[in-house]
Amino acid sequence: MKNVMVIYGTRPEAVKVAPLIRALRESDVLTPIVVSTGQHREMLDQVNRWFGIEPDHDLDVFKAGQSLTELSARILTDLPAVLQRYAPDAVVVQGDTTTVAMAAIACFYEQVPVVHLEAGLRSGDITSPFPEEANRRLAGQVTALHLAPTSAARDNLLRENFDPAAVVVTGNTVIDALQWTADQPVRFQDERIAASAASGRPMILLTTHRRENWGEPMLHIGAAVRRLAERFPDHVVVFPAHKNPTVREAIIPLIGDLPNVIVCEPLDYPEFVHAQRLSRIVLTDSGGVQEEAPSFGRPVLVLRDNTERPEAVTAGTVKLIGTDADRIVAEVSQLIEDPATYERMSQAVNPYGDGHASHRCVAAIAALLGVGERVAEFEVSAG
């Protein structure tokens, strides 16, 4: 048996490593060791609970409002002892957060092979998303095995001259998690959302947290949502507010008093999945939501100027609209008022995965460690 440590720290990482941890538990040749940095707290624990995952070790680096440098320093300081204690044969990190970049560097210094899950995403702009574009590039530099979710992600890595033998296209484990979750019955704990869902009123789901949207852009998003809620009183806007106080302080005062806007705590993952399925339109700057909502054929308007996830944009379900208030109001209004536009954007597409990514990842890690063979790579089916 080889020991594979999975290190993660935030909500989206927790969602995307969960299917891999479950697949590692089922493996005959690999055993997972689960380590949380605790970069997030409530939002991470919510996801762990849903997937039945309890970390073997928690660095608990969470501190409200800490700077990126402080957070980075704490992870780099605390992780080496954990690596030495468990002596893993390889470490998996996922995505592009500060946890990922710092864990990858710590592993490199401790000479433990790094496996990068969701490797190769690129916006092409080092400042946006900030700091994620830099984080994933940093992790890539010290990675032994790049698990690229799509062929476009693989191509990005090959353009940067990474060894093709070290890159495997697996599909994104976000779809494994989504499929497993979408099958389960869900009830909204927030009575306002439960009542709104039962009433059949059209729902607009809003999430925002990106650091490059802090300040003016987030005020524009809030102002636009206010105008939309007033213009379409039959619609309900649901805003599960990210725990980040910077986000809350910017947006909630702008929309929190409207009768058809529900501001709530972050939804438990299965409730959020259900909310995506129920909503008419998704407005977001999230990375993961851009991958999930297209599965349900929900038009996704992305509150950013670029994306490292071009596949669903090409498929037509996702549109980049930036953060200009007039543009947001115009784009959402068009979707509400023009059935042809809505129809065009609401075809269900699955360019990010087929629900079997974690098994491809386990096979590729086993091959890296000399105890198994890779399986066929993920390809988007034509249908």
Q: How far apart are CA 44 and CA 351, in angstroms?
A: 26
Phi, psi for residue 89 in degrees, rounded to 5: -80, -25
Q: Report what 102 binds from ligand UD1, ligand UDP, none; CB cut-off 5-8 Å by kind.
A: none
Measured from the CB atom, is 27 or 276 closer to ligand UDP? Answer: 276
Phi, psi for residue 33 in degrees, rounded to 5: -120, 120
Residue in 12, 140, 222, 372 binding ligand UDP, rule: CB under 6 A: 12
Q: Please tell me whether residue 311 binds ligand UDP under the rule CB under 6 A.
A: no
Q: How far apart are CA 15 and CA 246, in angstroms?
A: 23
Site string for ligand UDP, 205-244 (x = CB under 6 A): --x-x------------------------------x----
The footprint of ligand UD1 on residues 101-140 (CB under 6 A) is 131-132
Residue in 131, 140, 287, 372 binding ligand UDP, rule: CB under 6 A: 287
Q: Please tell me whether residue 65 binds ligand UD1 under the rule CB under 6 A.
A: yes
Q: Are strands 300-302 and 318-320 parallel, antiparallel or unpaired?
A: parallel
Q: Please tell me whether residue 10 binds ligand UD1 under the rule CB under 6 A.
A: yes
Q: Which stretch binds ligand UDP (CB under 6 A): 61-69, 158-166, 281-289, 346-354?
A: 281-289
13, 58, 89, 118: the catalytic one is 118
Those residues with Cβ within 8 angstroms of residue 29's Cβ, 6 or more apart along the chain or in another chain: 1, 2, 366, 369, 371, 372
Those residues with Cβ within 8 angstroms of residue 209's Cβ, 6 or more apart along the chain or in another chain: 242, 244, 247, 285, 286
359 is catalytic: no
Residue in 269, 296, 352, 378 binding ligand UDP, rule: CB under 6 A: 269
242, 280, 359, 360: the catalytic one is 242
118 is catalytic: yes
96 is catalytic: yes
Measured from the CB atom, is 43 or 335 closer to ligand UDP? Answer: 43
Q: Please tell me whether residue 66 binds ligand UD1 under the rule CB under 6 A.
A: yes
Pick from 283, 286, 225: which is nearest to 250 by CA?
A: 225
Task: Report long-range pairs for 79-87 (Cβ below 8 Å, ≥24 apart).
Answer: 79/7, 79/37, 79/103, 79/106, 80/106, 80/109, 80/110, 82/35, 82/57, 83/5, 83/107, 83/110, 83/112, 84/110, 86/3, 86/5, 86/33, 86/35, 86/56, 86/57, 87/3
292 is catalytic: no
Phi, psi for residue 214 in degrees, rounded to 5: -65, 150
Q: Are 9 and 99 in contact (CB under 8 A)?
A: yes
Residue in 286, 295, 317, 323 binding ligand UDP, rule: CB under 6 A: 286
209 is catalytic: yes
Q: Please tell me whether residue 57 binds ligand UD1 under the rule CB under 6 A.
A: no
Q: Report what 40 binds from ligand UDP, ligand UD1, none; CB cut-off 5-8 Å by kind.
A: ligand UD1
Q: Catalytic residue numbers?
A: 96, 118, 132, 209, 211, 242
Interface residues with ligand UDP (CB under 6 A) are 11-12, 15, 207, 209, 240, 266-267, 269, 272-273, 286-289, 292
